Structures are given as structure tokens and as C-alpha cells.
Structure 1
């Protein structure tokens, strides 16, 4: 490792003469390796682990001399330049992990590693064609991770030679064309991740041949046409993540009746028809995302029959009926987003959804236009942590039932027509770190109690994040148009009361809050800006 920019800890000049005693080095005796080219007690390096040490520099060609090396892990460092060809000619190497470095250039085509089982070069800057030639002489590979690089062009034929492949990740590159047909011959494949490329055209029906698949992620590509109706034999598939492509047509029957499925994400397509899912067949479904499509027709009434379903996103579709009464029995529901879905009768919706005993996140934005937000104090959402009912021109005042949402952490009622005074009990929420009441018609003074919100002082959050595939919404931003928060913890601590008719002065106590954003603009406030706010973003 002489090409490293700084000495390796434990490998200094005063280190033991025997390298087998150095940090990160494991040796076996020549006799245990069946070698006769040296003393039986002499050690040969079989493992080299120098991960997460902030090492910089490049790899020397001399690494090829470690011909008994079985395991090499140099991940999570700052290594750069191209790979030495000798590294890919180690005959006994079984695991090679160079992930999370800064290597670049093409992978040498002369690779010959007949013992290789794991090849991980993800999160680097490798470029050129996808190195399918690895499968020519390394047919025993089980894990091939080439994600987060700059590989380009179509997938050349060759990956089918790795008949033992179980985990293949080509995600986040610049690959084009379609998924090569020989990938569909990898009968032992358990995970296939090809998201965030530029794959296009129809998804090949050969995908149905991968009967051992547990996870399939084809999201953020340019696939088009219908989703092939070939899932009936994929009896182990638990995760199908396909958001942000160009699929059209309806959900295929073999997919909507697939028993093992737990996570189904078909967000952001042009899918049409009514939503029909077989709850008796898909009894294990946990997360359902059908948002941003062209589904029309009645709101699906049978979702409460999915007894494990926790996360539902049906936003940006066109429903012809309101939230059904059956949702009163939706006890597993924790996260619900149905924004921009042509819904009406907000009083009925809240009256029904309050019976969802585990509801934690509720997003109803861009619905119920020009209706009155019910203020009935008897409404109860005891576990609610996130409530977003923005951009709906809702009338009324600050609803009294909100006071009972004692676990509330994020509240957005912006861009409505709510009026009256802002109640002092807004300061009673122990966990509220984000409150947006902007673009309404609130009057009176800013309640001083809002300056004492504990979560804005300590930022102690406890939101359990939704599943990784649960999307959020586009939030308006005055300067850049829109931006997207993908997780609730990414929201900055905020008090936004701008665009109302508030009067009086600005409380100096706002300076005690560890806020990222305080917006009091476009009101009728008077007096000077307190000096305690100098360190805050206004």
C-alpha cells in the first residue's frame, strides 16, 4: 500500500516485522493452504480489511502479489485513480469490496478471478461499458454491485454466464436500452436493482422467469407500455418498486393477486381504470403507493380488509366518491396521503378517519375546495403526528379538535381562508417543530405561547419515518418554485405565519427558538425587529 498518501495505522516503520501482525491483516499458514513453496509455519495473507480509515491515494500493482488473498475490503475510503489489472487476477479472491471510494475509469477487461463470489465497486466514478466480462471467468459470482457509478450505453450480453448470481445492482448509472434478456435467465436471482438509469421501452416479459426474486426495483427509468402480466410464478416477490416510469394501462391481474407482496409502488405513471386489488390474496401488503396516476372511479372501499396495510398513497388521482365508511375499520392504517384527488365533504372525511386508531400521518392537501374546516371539538386523532391540509381554500377558524392532537409534530394549514385569532393553546404542543399557517386570514396578535414550543427550543423529534417508499408532497417555495421533502425529518424547524393580518409587535422570545425559518412577512406588525432574532433566518 505504498501508494497511499499517508501511513496506515499500525503499519509504521516500528511495526512488527511480520506483516501478519499488522492491523487489518489476517494470515493462514502455508500448510493450511496446501502450499509447499515455503516453510509450513510461514503465513500468507488471506484477508486485508482497511475499511472506513479515510485512506487516500491509489492502489499499487503490487497488490497482485497477494496470490492467496481471499477477502479484500477497502470500502469507505478516499482511494482514487484506475484499478490495477493485477487486482483482477488474484486467483483465490472471493470477496472484493471497493465501494464508497473515488476510483474512476473503466474496469479492466482482462479480469480473471475464478473464485470470486462478491464484487462490490458501488459509489465510485467508474465509467465506460458495464463490465459484463467479469462473468466470463468469474462464473461463481453471487453478488455483483455496480451501482452509483457512471457506466453507460446498453447492457452487453454476458451477465447470463453468472448462473449463481443472487444479488445484482446496476442502480444509478447512465445505462440505456432495456434489461438484457440474459438477465432473465438468472434463475437464482433474489434482488434486482436497476433504478435511476435511462432504460426505456417495454419491460420484457422475461422478468416473470425470475421466480426467486424477493426485491425488484426498476424505478426512475423510462419504461413504457403496459406492465407485463407475468407475475403469477413470482411466488417470493415481496417488493416491487417501479415509480416514475411511463407505464400505461391497468394494474395486471397477476400483480394485484400476488400473495407474497408487501410493498407495491407504482407512483407516477399513466395507469388508468379503477383500483382493484385482491385483499384475500395479498394478505401481507404493508405499503401501497398508487399516487400520481390517472386512476378514476370510486375510492377503493376494500383497503381496510388488508389487515397489515400501514402506508397508503393515492394522491393525484381522480376519485368519484368520498372516503368510504369502511375506513372506520382501518385499524392498521398509519400513513395516508390522498392529496389532489378530487375529494369533497371534509366533515365526513375527518369523521371517518378519526376512527383509524393508529393514524400518524394525514395528508389531504388540494381537496375539499371552498368547504368549511369543521371545528367540532369532539373529533379525536390521538396518535396524529403530521397533519397537512394546505392549498384548499378552506374556511372557518383554527379547529378546536386540533388541541387534542397532543402528539402533533408537523402542522401545515397554509394557503387556506382560515380566520379569527391564533389560539394560545398552539403553545401547548410538546413536540411541534413545524407550523405553517401562512396565506390565511388570521388576525390579532401573535400568541406569545408559540415562542415557548419545547420542540422548537430543543428540536427533540420522535417521528417514526414512513416506509422508504412513502412519498411526500411538493411544497411551494417563493424563490425557487417548488421543492420536495422526501422524509418528515428533513423539514427544517419552522414557524410560518406570513401572509395573514396579524398585528402587534414581534416577541423577543422568538430568539430562544432553534428555528431554521421564521416568516412573519406580509402582516400588519409594528415596532422594531428584536435583536434576539439576528441569528435566525427571517
Structure 2
């Protein structure tokens, strides 16, 4: 007996004599969990009961624990089974922690449990069917975990269950029809699971108490059952993002209590059903991204809708006048359809309209006067229609307006004066109309204005100096108008201005003083005006200027030497009155078109100075004579050199001398083993630079040996190595130590033969696995890991090496994979160490890199910096997302980058993502795709640094795939994120 008591005592570390049995059980719970934020720090053994501990609630009479709520406590570890030993426990919540085990098979000890919330954790394994045997369970949430297997059929035996949340796991199989037997069920969330494609389980129509049904992205196929009309208590129905076909059943009109219907992103067809007039509680109806046809029924428009989303369908015809009569309509989105006619004149008059988007249709007529009658209109997006007439005067009084996008219509007349000075507006887009008059000085009141786009109109007069008072202005585009007079001096005060486009006007005078203030200016386009005077030296001090076009003006004087410090994608100074010598950096044939049409401009470029032609002819004759003399000398020297070279070759033919070997790591093998193993049977690859051998050494290690040809290969344009590039590879890799850079063990150079010995990568290159028959399909987690590893390797080169190293040939074939698919960046034969004061840029004599990966500015200017690598890495990301080659005959004249942009614009993201990838990762894939689009921006300044790329990829992986479906920390089955305007603007541009 004493022994038994001793063992019992030892089983509870340091128990207090005063703490009751329930407190001891909870102490065991605490010991089994990791608590980095000390959320359980007041679970103190000195207390008599745990009733005052954090997260613990006791019965006021019996002092027994009946509730444990440890949600949002950053706890990790296995599920604490000791909780089930608390006899009166009815409530457990561990929501939003890192509980990371499988669930216990047996829950028999939790017989009194009424609520179990384990959502938003890291649970794995199958769902135990024993949960169905808890007689009192009313609430069960396992959403947002990593659970696998099928939903237990036994779940159909729940007696009192009211809420079942299983969304956002990795459950497979099909949705069991037995769930239709849970007659008490009110909330059923099963969305975002990779189920086997199957029809909608019609047995769910038996759940007559159901209020919310969330089956988004459940691989449902076939029609929507008409029997859903039996769910008369249903308030929210979400069947979005499935593969449902057929018409929308008119029987849905019998759901008298329905508030929200979400059917977007399916393949539904036919017309919108009639009979919705009786759905008096319906506030949101979204049937976007389907294949619907026909017009919008008047009765749908007469409902008190808060949101009507029908974009990206095939809707045709006119918009019914009755849509304007809905008193609660605050959001109307009908973009990307084939609607025409006029907008109803009463639109906005009876409803608090906040957002109107009817872009990409065929609407005509005038913009309704009453859109902002209730004073709450924030977004007005009417781009790409045929609206005509004036901008309504009432919009000038709409002080709530934040975005006014009226691009590409047929608007005319003057803009209301008050419209220019709206206090909350941050985007004004009037491009591509026939608007006239002047920009009002009242624009100074638009102090939130960030983007002002008024190009391709008939505006005239002076550009008001008040624009220079808009401290938040990022972009000002006013090209192809009739503006005259000088460039306002106040514009130099716009320190965050990124883009200034004023080409195609009648502007005169010179540059305003103080342009050093344009610290953020990326693009400056003043072409085709009447500007004159010198080009100021200060332009060369604008740190991020990338696009400079001053062509078609009357600028005179010399070209400032300071322009050579800029990292330009485009330089155009043609058709001016410039004179003098070209700056040395620009005295190259590739820059010729940048300077033509300047009669006084001289240089060595043919055609710039015709009067120099005769002297060049005489110089050519002297050069030709010198070449003949030099050729004779070279021939004699060559014969002598060949004789001695051949004699040395015969002496050294027997083998590679050990004295030529150079090691960079402690080796466990002999260099002689390498030389003896270079046999044709061991070749695993070959290219223009030589062959690659797989060598298995006597100690069991395996290495890869690249054998390069000696001598200069510069004359061979296809070669990857010139006479210095072996040394570049050696000097670069010899000093690098990073887990994501391939290791160079040793090398040999005896003149005739050059060997590089690397660590062996058993899974070959990423390019082979993605695009050839050598490897099987790569799933998304593996592709994501490869992208992150390679990004970390490049980040090390750019940010942690002193001086930085630019790879210059980043591509999928130069990303090698080890046995665990860890990625290593390889092949540094054309890498460059960026040196000097202007270490961000170095001019190259030839283009290095591979077709489809070369950044646009690199091909044009031959100037290399880290941004070139970032562009190439962005192409690799696009390969991982799309599964496509960077150059493909299917693209026509496009490369992968252009194909992705155009496909996103025309067909949407689903046509870009590799169809072999699991759609359950779509959110994460889209975030990584966005990183790739940022990296492949045509403007180098817009590309993130590699360090930032690593951070963005890490964030894309850490975020749960349910992140876009959360709201205020809770799952919301009625939220879906639409394409941001930033992405839309990027695609349009």
C-alpha cells in the first residue's frame, strides 16, 4: 500500500496538498503542452481549485470545472486527453493554436461534452468516428486543420448535433449521404476539401432545420438539386467554386428565409430563373463566373438587395429600369458581360449606392445624375463602355467618392469644377475620352489624390501649379492633350511622384528648377512638346529613374555625362538640337536610335555625323593596311606556338598531374579517382561547354564532374564558357558556403582539360523534372519548397556576399535538386561580382543568359545588376506555377511572361495554373504567382529585392489556405476575395 501511494505521489510532479483532483488533471494538461507565451502561467499548484485559472470556468455551486477555453493561446503539442477526465466538463475550445497530433480514437470519457472546438490547428490523421457516440454533443469544429481520410459514415448517428464544421482540411472520398440523417443540424460547413468529384448529395435536403450550408470547392459536379427547396429555414447557401452544371433551379425561389446565395465560379448555364420576387429577405446574390445568358429578370432587380454580382457571365441585353428601384441596393457589379443600352435614370436615387461597376460592357447614353443622391457613393467604375455626354454636375458634389474610373468612353464637354477637388478621391481616371476645358485650380482640394490619369483627351490651357500641392500624388499622366505653357515649378515638390507623363502636348520653356526633389520618379516622358534649353545635369542624380523620353523637342547643348549613372530601360533624346560628343557609355550602336535627328551631335556611330564620313574612309584604308601586316605576323607566331604546344601535349598526354588540382573543402577522396572515372559510360549530360559525368568513388560518395574544353570559346556564340569563365566559376563557388548554392569540391586546370567537381544532385535539374520525361509530376508543396530554396540562394548572393554577386543565367536548368528535392543554384560560369561605386550596375560586352529568361532592360542596354536575376527568377516561378516552358511555339511571338499576363487578362487565373496541381492549394499558388508577376515587372525598379522575394514566399506558405475565408478570426462561408484593382491595373497596363 505504501508503495502504491509513493508511485501515485511521484506521478504528479511537485503536487500541492491543497490542489483538488481536477486541478491535478489540469496540471497534467499543462505539462503536455508547449506554452511559449506563458498563457498558462497562473495555473498555480498553491490554489485549492483551478476555478480562477486562465481559461477555466467552474460551476458556482459545485466548484467543478465545466468549461476549458484556451483558444488563441499559441499552445502546441498533442491533444490533451486528460481534459476528458474532468467529469463535469461540457465545453472545450482549443481554437487557433498549434495542436499537432492525431485525435485519440476513443472519446468515451467525454460523455458530458456539449461543445468541442479544435478548429485552426495542425491536427493530422483521420477523424475518429467515436465522436458520433457523444450523446450530448451539439457543436463540433475541426475546421482549418490537416485532417485526412473520409468523413466518417457514423457521423449520421449524431443525436443532438447542431453545428458541424469540417472546412479547410484534406478530406477525400465523397460527402456521405448519411449526414442527411442529422435532423438537428443547423450549420454545415464542409468547404475547401479535396473530395472526389461527385454529384450533390441530395440527402442533405432532409436537413430541414439547416440555416447555413457551405459547400464551396467540394468538387461537386452535375446539377443543383431542385429538392433544396425543402430547406425552408436556410438563410445562407454557398455552392461556389465547384463544377456544377445546368440551370439555376427555379425551386430556390421557395427558400423564404434565404439571405444570401453564392453560386459563383461554376459552369451553370441558361437564364436567370424567375420566381425570386417572394425572396423578401435576399440581400446578396452572386452568380458570377458562370455561363449564364439572357437578361436580368425585373423581379430580381426589385428585391431589396444589398449586393448583386453577375460579372463574367454572358449576360446580354439591357439593364432593366426596375433595378434602380431596390431601396437597399448598395453594390452593383455587372462587369465583363454584353449588356447594352442606358443605365436606369433612377439608379442610386432610392438606394444608398456605394459601389457601381459595369465595366467592359456596351452601355451608352449619359451617366445617370442620381448615382450619388444618398451621398455615400465610393466607387464609380464605368471603364470600357460607350457612355457619352458630360460628367454629371452632381458628381462634383459627391464628397464620398474615392475612385472615379471613366476610362475609354465617349464623354465630352468640360469636367465639373468641383469634381477636380473632391476631398476623398484617390484615383481619377478619365483617359480616352473627348473631355475639354482646363484642369481647375480647385484640384488642390483633392489632398488624397494618388493617381491622376487624364491622357488622350482635349484638355487645354496651362497645367495648374496647384497640382504640385498634392503631396500624395504618385502618378500624373496627361499625354496627348493640348496643354501649353511651362511645366509648373511646383511639380518638383512631389517627392513621392513615380510617373510623370506629359508627352504629346504644346508645353514650352525648360525644365523647372529643383528637379532633385523627384527622388521617387521612375518614368519621365516629355516627348513631342516644344520644350527648350539644356538638359539639366540633375537628371543623373534621380536615383530610381528608369524611363527617360525627351524626344521631339528643342533641347540644346551637350548631353550631360551624369546620365551615365542612371539604370535606364529606355533612353530617347532623338529629334532635338543637341550637340557635342556622346557620353562614352552611349557611344555604342545599340544606343544609336536614342540620338538620331540631332544635327550637331557627334560620335563614332555611323549616321550621326555625315560630315565625318570622308575622314572615316581614310581611317578605314589605314586600318585595312595595318590588318594585312598584322595578319602576317600572327601567322608566323602561330606556327611557332603550335609546334611548342604540340610537343608539350605529347609529354602530358599520359594523365592529369596532381599539381593542377585545387580543393575548396576537406576531401574524402583522391583526385586521381576523378581522372580515372571520366568514361563515356558515366556521362549524364552534355552541352556546348562540355560533358558532365557521374562518378561513384571508392568511399561510397557520388560526385558530378563537369569537363570543359580548354582555350577561348568567345568565337562560339552558343558556348557557355569563354576563356575567363572557368576562373569565374572557380573564384565564385570556391568562396561561397550556403545550403542553397551547389558545392564545388575541387577543380583542375592544366590548359587542355578543365574539370569542376561538384556535389552530386540525384534529382537532376528543375527544368528536366518540369519539362521532360525524366521525372514524374511535381506536386505543389514540392514546387513551393524549390522556389523558396532557390530564392534563399539568390538572396545570399545579392545581399550577403561582399561584394554582391549577380548570377546572370538564372533558369530552371541551373536549379539542381538533391535527394529530398532541396534546391541548389548552380552554374556560375557567367556570374559577375559587382564592384565599384556604382555597384548596382555593370555594362557587359555581350548578352549572357538564356532565351526566355533575359530581363528586357538587359537585352537593350547590356547593363547588369541584381534586378536582372530577379526577372529571371520570376520566370522560374511562372514555370513552377504554369508547368510551361519559358519559350513555347504555342505562345506564338510571346514568351511565358507575356503569355501569363495576356491569359490572366482574357481568361482568368484558372487557365494559367498547371492543371496537374491540386486545386486545394489554389490560394497559395495564386500568392506565389503574384510574387512571380512582381519579379517580372518590365520596370526594374518595380521588382522586389531577393530578400523581399524570400519574405513574400515565406508569407505565402505560412498563410493558411483558409486565410481568404476568415473574417474577424472566424470562418465566414460567405466571403470571397475578388481581384484587386491593383492587379487589374497591372494586367491592363
| Alignment TM class, shorter chain as reference | 0.7 to 0.9
In terms of Rg, which structure is larger?
2
Instruction: Tell me which moved more, 304-313 or 253-262.
Output: 304-313
Bigger fraction of residues in helix: 2
Q: Quick one: structure 1 residues 307 and 377, their matched pair in 2 at CA, closer, same or farther if it must change by over 3 Å? A: closer
1:403 alignment partner, SS class: helix
2:298 alignment partner, SS class: coil
Structure 1 segment 375-524 matched on structure 2, within 5 A: 379-389=443-453, 392=456, 400-408=465-473, 410-411=474-475, 413=477, 428-429=493-494, 432=496, 434-435=498-499, 437=501, 447-451=515-519, 497-498=546-547, 500-501=549-550, 504=560, 505=562, 520-523=569-572
Query: Structure 1, unaligned stretches of length 5 or more?
Result: 1-5, 28-40, 457-493, 511-517
Residues 101 and 124 of structure 1 are in contact (CA less than 8 Å); yes or no, is this contact kept in structure 2? yes
CA–CA distance in structure 1, aligned partners of residues 439 and 388 of structure 2: 26
Q: Deviations over 1:182-221 (max 9, x none)?
A: 2221101011111121211110112223221011112222
Structure 1 segment 357-368 matched on structure 2, within 5 A: 357-368=423-434
Structure 1 segment 134-173 matched on structure 2, within 5 A: 134-136=204-206, 138-173=207-242
CA–CA distance in structure 2, aligned partners of residues 157 and 218 of structure 1: 17
Q: Deviations over 1:451-484 (max 9, x none)?
A: 268xx9xxxxxxxxxxxxxxxxxxxxxxxxxxxx
Q: Quick one: structure 1 residues 319 and 65, their matched pair in 2 at CA, closer, same or farther if it must change by over 3 Å? A: same
Instruction: Tell me which moved more, 279-288 or 255-264.
Output: 279-288
Q: Deviations over 1:2-48 (max 9, x none)?
A: xxxx9994656894661679998279xxxxxxxxxxxxx98522221
Q: Quick one: structure 1 residues 119 and 427, their matched pair in 2 at CA, closer, same or farther if it must change by over 3 Å? A: farther
1:227 CA drift (Å): 0.9
Residues 90 and 113 of structure 1 are in contact (CA less than 8 Å); yes or no, is this contact kept in structure 2? yes
CA–CA distance in structure 2, aligned partners of residues 50 and 128 of structure 1: 28
1:353 alignment partner, SS class: helix
Q: Deviations over 1:131-150 (max 9, x none)?
A: 332122x2100000111332
1:299 CA drift (Å): 3.4
CA–CA distance in structure 2, aligned partners of residues 215 and 62 of structure 1: 39
Residues 549 and 572 of structure 2 are in contact (CA less than 8 Å); yes or no, is this contact kept in structure 1? yes
Q: Quick one: structure 1 residues 385 and 121, their matched pair in 2 at CA, closer, same or farther if it must change by over 3 Å? A: farther
Residues 139 and 164 of structure 2 are in contact (CA less than 8 Å); yes or no, is this contact kept in structure 1? yes
Q: Quick one: structure 1 residues 190 and 201, their matched pair in 2 at CA, closer, same or farther if it must change by over 3 Å? A: same
CA–CA distance in structure 1, aligned partners of residues 324 and 564 of structure 2: 55
Name the counterpart of 1:62: 130
Q: Quick one: structure 1 residues 87 and 495, their matched pair in 2 at CA, closer, same or farther if it must change by over 3 Å? A: farther
2:172 alignment partner, SS class: strand
1:390 CA drift (Å): 6.5
1:519 CA drift (Å): 6.3
CA–CA distance in structure 2, aligned partners of residues 527 and 73 of structure 1: 70
Asked if 1:116 is matched to 2:185, the reply is yes
Residues 409 and 432 of structure 2 are in contact (CA less than 8 Å); yes or no, is this contact kept in structure 1? yes
Instruction: Tell me which moved more, 197-206 or 499-508.
Output: 499-508
1:360 CA drift (Å): 2.8
What is the Cα-based RMSD across aligned positions, in Å? Answer: 4.0
Instruction: Tell me which moved more, 97-106 or 277-286.
Output: 277-286
- TM-score, normalised by the number of residues in structure 2: 0.42
Asked if 1:72 is matched to 2:121, the reply is no
**Alignment length, in residue pairs?**
465
Residues 364 and 390 of structure 1 are in contact (CA less than 8 Å); yes or no, is this contact kept in structure 2? yes
CA–CA distance in structure 2, aligned partners of residues 295 and 244 of structure 1: 16
CA–CA distance in structure 1, aligned partners of residues 866 and 302 of structure 2: 60
1:108 CA drift (Å): 1.1
1:284 alignment partner, SS class: coil
1:294 CA drift (Å): 1.3
1:247 CA drift (Å): 1.8
2:294 alignment partner, SS class: strand
Name the counterpart of 2:280: 211
Name the counterpart of 1:478: none
Query: Structure 2, unaligned stretches of length 5 or more?
Result: 1-32, 35-74, 95-108, 523-542, 552-558, 574-581, 586-836, 842-864, 871-939, 941-989
Asked if 1:131 is matched to 2:201, the reply is yes
1:361 CA drift (Å): 2.1
Bigger relative contact order, structure 1 or 2 (CA pairs below 8 A, ≥6 apart): 1
Name the counterpart of 1:25: 92
Structure 1 segment 280-319 matched on structure 2, within 5 A: 282-319=350-387
1:332 alignment partner, SS class: coil
Q: Quick one: structure 1 residues 213 and 521, their matched pair in 2 at CA, closer, same or farther if it must change by over 3 Å? A: same
The equivalent position to 1:202 in structure 2, one of 271, 278, 285, is 271
CA–CA distance in structure 2, aligned partners of residues 252 and 160 of structure 1: 27
- TM-score, normalised by the number of residues in structure 1: 0.74
CA–CA distance in structure 1, aligned partners of residues 494 and 163 of structure 2: 52
